[in-house]
Amino acid sequence: MREGQHIKESSFPRMRESSDFVSANQRRWIPAFAGMTALLRGALFICCLGPVSATAALPETLAQALKNAGIAPANVALWVAPANGGAPSLQHNVDEAFNPASVMKLVTSSAAIELLGPGYTWRTEALLRGPLQGGVLQGDLVLRGGGDPALTWDRFGSFLRDLRARGLREIRGNVLLDRSLFAPIVQDNFDDQPQRAYNAAPDALLVNFKAISVRLTPAAARQPIAAVSLVPLAPFNIDNQLVASSGGCGDWRGQIQSELLSQGEGFVLRLAGSMPASCGERVLNLAAHDGPRLAASVFRALWAELGGRLDGTVREGTTPPDATPFANWQSPTLVEVLRDINKYSNNVMARHLLLTLGRSDTQAQGLTPQMGVQRIRDWLANRQTALPGLVLENGSGLSRHERISAAGLGNLLQSMWQSPRMPDLVATLPIAGEDGTARRRFSGQPSAGRAYLKTGSLNDVMSTAGYVQDARGQWQVVVLMITGPRAEAGEAATLAALRVVAEAAPATSRLR
């Protein structure tokens, strides 16, 4: 199981699964006297605690929810403290390092917003090898990837349109795809679902998140389902054997068998199985692990659409020393990219972020995750923020090895609250009950509209961390991590923990 990965609506029409982005300034006012009984119960419990041990008892409502779900307290870590600093008011198992799933993105995002700055952009370059006369290039076009994590097919098309506007009409040579900025990354089999879009690996010339999208339109039950690609590819064929079924929608993806195969210069997609007609129109996102082939296929389709001509092939290659700069494409800013990473838990974008952090004046190619990890560790050391037990692998949380303690993550979030970049970081987090991965889960809860929360889930992991405004208007840092075979049953426990924080008013939360 994985948190759903959102792919931008600008790239794939009608794909947005959550509400439009909501201004970070919006708040819902909840009167202090609403739910007074629950407020007093929670406040009395927490106020009596003061600074507590790392294995203190859990709030009664949370303990009961865990018991009902069959989750042992030993498999739970909880840390709550005032965002503006001070000792925690609640802590349980806070020194043990847990697998945080996608909540690990908070570490990568915090480092990036401070080290790179909110206005940082990635650059994709076009270079010419040969003379350009009368719109004809007598040689090769080089596309050099700069690690842009947001080079969707429509943005890639805008880049190619700019090349046409600059006078390039016909390429008599080849198109060389230079992906040397990142060291080769082996695609691992994370969860036996390699075709799921969230499993795409980084690529220095990452086109469209290394994913294709197919719109599925069912008719009546037992009738064929129409399948149409939403990403321009050339060549691309769909062998579609999907049939509509009856019944409720449910896990419609689990009923579809998909296989994306290389064929000639392009792909063939085989679809089999069924999808309930009650689902209506849906979009199936699939990982295309052959990044160069995907980039080449999208290039050919878009270049032909723009009226361009290519005599040669599209293939991998490094930039020749005699190539001359022609044009470049700037990505959205880092803070815009972080909104996609955090609000919709985009894994491949987060992995690009870690790789980007490894770039330096002396290291401009062959970047590895280890380089990014070292820079984060140096950053933590320089700001004197200790994260004992921290294990970083790819920075996205899509890992069985990554670890962090609730106290370590809580301390980092407290520290970031004092950072000049705090408003930029907080605005990238899902708003409880309103957008991103927190839209549906926390709708109607006391924290709705009053919390910025990053959520994470893997098999045997459920986690939530971020900032919650309590009933007195004070901001609290909350870190909750649940592991073990019953973790997926921890939804009620998560809601109970956030309710305690949102409705109570810890004595240590007053602004200084």
The pairing of beta strand 404-405 with beta strand 97-98? antiparallel
- Specify if 8 maps to a domain: no
Indicate whether 396 and 499 sit together in one domain.
Answer: yes
- Looking at the fold, whether 340 and 442 belong to one and the same domain comes out as yes
Rounded average pLDDT over 247-263: 93
Q: Residue 12 domain-assigned?
A: no
4 pLDDT tier (thresholds 50, 70, 90): very low
52 pLDDT higher than 60: no
Residue ranges making up the domain that contains 286: 197-290
Q: Does residue 223 share a domain with residue 267? A: yes
Percent of the chain clearing pLDDT 90 (strictly above): 82
Residues 115 and 157 in one domain: no
Paired tokens of 436: 């991103």
Residue 134 and residue 214 in one domain: no
Q: State the DSSP H helix or E strand holding residue 499, giving kind and residue range, or none if neither.
A: helix 491-503
What pLDDT sits at residue 504?
Answer: 76
**Is the per-residue pLDDT at 28 higher than 80?**
no
Judge whether residue 105 has pLDDT over 50. Answer: yes
Whether the predicted pLDDT of 280 surpasses 70: yes
- 414-440: pLDDT as tens digits: 999 999 999 999 999 999 999 999 999
- Give 420's contacts (C-beta < 8 A, 6+ positions apart): none
In this structure, the answer to whether residues 54 and 88 fall within a common structural domain is: yes
Integer Cα distance of 91 and 108 in angstroms:
24
286, 212 contact by CB (below 8 A): yes
Asked if residue 310 belongs to a domain, the reply is yes
Report the pLDDT value the prediction gives residue 186, as an integer from 0 to 100. Answer: 78
At 445, is the secondary structure helix, strand, or coil? Answer: coil
Amino acid at 323: A
Whether 25 maps to a domain, the answer reads no
Among candidate residues 333, 353, 387, the one where a domain is terminated? 333
Determine the average pLDDT of the residues in 322-349.
98
Q: How confident is the model at residue 485 (pLDDT cuts 50, 70, 90)?
A: very high
Q: What phi, psi does 115 have (nearest 5°)?
A: -80, -40
Q: Are residues 501 and 377 in the same domain?
A: yes
Residues 469 and 344 in one domain: yes
pLDDT given for residue 69 in this prediction: 97
Which residues lie below 8 Å from residue 209, measured CB to CB, with a gap of 6+? 7, 152, 197, 200, 346, 348, 349
d(CA 466, CA 406): 11
3-state secondary structure 247-311: CCCCCCHHHEEEEEEEECCEEEEEEEEEEEHHHCCEEEEEECCCHHHHHHHHHHHHHHHCCCEEC
Q: What is the pLDDT of residues 361-413, one digit of tens each?
A: 888 889 999 999 999 999 999 999 999 899 999 999 999 999 999 999 999 99
Confidence at 55, pLDDT banded by 50, 70, 90: low
Q: Can you tell me the mean pLDDT for 229-245?
A: 96
Same-domain pairing of 419 and 500: yes
Is 276 a domain residue? Answer: yes
Number of domains present in the structure of the chain: 3
Nearest CA to 347 among 30, 73, 7? Answer: 7
Residue-averaged pLDDT of the chain = 88
Is the model's pLDDT at 39 over the cut of 80? no
Q: Report CA-CA distances (Å) from 258 to 127, 195, 353, 420.
A: 37, 7, 29, 46
Structure tokens at 376: 């984060």
Q: Are residues 328 and 355 in the same domain?
A: no
| Residue 19 domain flag | no
Based on the fold, state whether residues 349 and 428 are members of the same structural domain: yes
Pick the last residue of a domain from 281, 313, 333. Answer: 333
The pLDDT of residue 194: 82
φ, ψ of residue 505 to 5 degrees: the values are -135, 85
Q: Is residue 159 part of a domain?
A: yes
Residue 348 neighbours by CB under 8 Å, 6+ apart: 149, 198, 200, 201, 202, 206, 209, 210, 396
pLDDT at 340 over 50: yes
49, 130: one domain: no
> Rounded CA gap, 465 and 71, in Å?
19
Question: What percent of the chain has a predicted confidence (pLDDT) above 70?
Answer: 88
Q: What is the DSSP letter of 391?
A: B
**Could you give the CA distance from residue 402 to residue 66 in angstroms, rounded to a whole number?**
24
Nearest-angstrom CA–CA distance, 451 and 431: 6
Q: What would the two tokens of residue 431 be?
A: 């708003």
Per the structure block, which two tokens stand in for 136?
């004809």
**Residue 230 pLDDT more than 90?**
yes
pLDDT at 144 exceeding the cut of 60 = yes
Using the predicted structure, report yes or no on whether residue 35 has a pLDDT greater than 80.
no
Using CA of residue 475, residue 462, residue 195, residue 370, what is the dihedral sign? positive
Q: For residues 295 and 147, give the distance between their C-alpha atoms in angstroms, rounded to a whole number.
A: 14
Residue 245 belongs to some domain of the structure: yes
Mean pLDDT value across residues 168-178: 98
The model's pTM: 0.87
SS3 of 80, please?
A: strand
Q: Which of 228, 211, 230, 285 has the alpha carbon at shortest distance from 252?
A: 285
